[in-house]
Chain A
Amino acid sequence: GIQVEQSPPDLILQEGANSTLRCNFSDSVNNLQWFHQNPWGQLINLFYIPSGTKQNGRLSATTVATERYSLLYISSSQTTDSGVYFCSNTGKLIFGQGTTLQVKP
């Protein structure tokens, strides 16, 4: 069955809008990581966040390991935020299926 489920699968935003991406785990979370795969295919580390909240510029992430979910917040979205966002339970080497984000100018 699905072990890492991401929602929504697709998201279209107008530039400047905010959004929240979610990652649910059916199993225990052993270290969690968020990635952005840009349109050129590069996988870029966003956050390594086993628990708690971290912020980096317009992006922030929160992981509640006891409730088996993590959230990625994108504020004031820009066209360069477009791409696919993945979460991964790195302790089990399992990726979610991704959220494809398109930010329109």
Chain B
Amino acid sequence: DTAVSQTPKYLVTQMGNDKSIKCEQNLGHDTMYWYKQDSKKFLKIMFSYNNKELIINETVPNRFSPKSPDKAHLNLHINSLELGDSAVYFCASSPGALGTAYNEQFFGPGTRLTVL
């Protein structure tokens, strides 16, 4: 299917652990994003990559490190997990870069991270 996919869908882990979330899009898009949705449903941008290049890095702890091996993949690695990292993490992609008319966003199904 043509889509944005994320793995895993659910992630339950202990404080202090390191974990990764993977994202892949087969839409041929140039730009990919990570968003965090908190318990109040508020969606906030974390990172954006365009053609494997980091273009947006919001105020996110440096325990969060994105990595884009190619323009179809954007992974998120989180070190030393904390209770406050519990949230739903969404990956998204858009055809063009920010500032263009082609940044309609398509979202993955989300990864629910629970830190115990």
Q: Which chain A residues have a beta carbon within 8 Å of chain B's beta carbons?
A: 30-31, 33, 35, 37, 41-43, 45, 48, 50, 84, 86, 88, 90-91, 93-95, 97-98, 100
Determine the chain A residues whose CB is within 8 A of the CB of B106 once the complex forms.
45
Among B20-28, B40-48, B70-78, the stretch that binds chain A is B40-48
Determine the chain A residues whose CB is within 8 A of the CB of B103 once the complex forms.
31, 90-91
CB-contact partner of B99 in A30, A50, A94, under 8 A: A30
Q: Secondary structure at chain A's binding surface: helix, strand, loop or mixed? A: strand
Q: Which chain B residues have a beta carbon within 8 Å of chain A's beta carbons?
A: 33, 40-45, 48, 56, 88, 90, 94, 98-99, 101, 103-107, 109-110, 112
Tally A-B pairs: CB < 8 A.
50
Determine the chain B residues whose CB is within 8 A of the CB of A88 once the complex forms.
43, 105
CA distance A13 to B44 in the complex (A): 28
Cβ contact within 8 Å between B94 and A43: no
CB closest chain-A residue, reference B106? A45
Cβ contact within 8 Å between B109 and A90: no
